[in-house]
Amino acid sequence: MSTWNSRGLRGSTLEEFINRTCEQYREKKLAVIQKIPTPITPVRIDKESRHITLAYFEKKSTVDYIGAVQGIPVCFDAKECHSNQFPLQNIHQHQVDFMGEFEGQGGIAFLILFFTRRNEFYYLRYEDMLRFWERGQSGGRKHFTLEELNPEYFFTSGHGFLVPFLEGLQKDLLSR
């Protein structure tokens, strides 16, 4: 059974930015998207701060976020990357499977990647993620690089939103 310790908070800043963006989208009636909590069972709690310091995951989660944008079902996961290569080990089989099933039902699945050194976000379409994933599973590279990504899907904070991912979604929809 998987456990997390201090590493479990990786990506929490990115998630806070996305949570705030989702609140703004909801306030503007553009989208209703919720963070899906990962079910955990605490093992060790710091009595002074009342923070969980060790826990195990009860079951595998699917994706970080799920909702609807103007009537279109969406689901996505948020990942941080500290270099110019994204390791595919950060994407799990059960996530790939869920996202594939979601797309099969007419929804849109994607990843939001945050390249911390560049301070840039990337909207990774499910179709492109799957291509990289299958390459890695069949013996190819276990990562993908910035150079392999479509430059049109990079974005930065702006227009009053911390993580304006609807721009990437719009491009994704137009390309289908």
CA-based nearest residue to 72, from 116, 108, 115, 42: 108
The secondary element (H helix, E strand) that includes residue 128 is helix 126-137
Structure token digits, residue 161: 């939103």
Q: Which residues are annotated as a binding site?
A: 62, 64, 77, 95
Residue 45 three-state SS? strand
* Alpha-carbon torsion angle 16, 21, 26, 32, nearest 10: -70
Query: Which residues does 135 contact at the CB level (< 8 Å), separation at least 6?
Result: 141
Q: Which residues are annotated as a binding site for Mg(2+)?
A: 62, 64, 77, 95
Strand order in the sheet with 3-4: 3-4, 51-57, 40-46
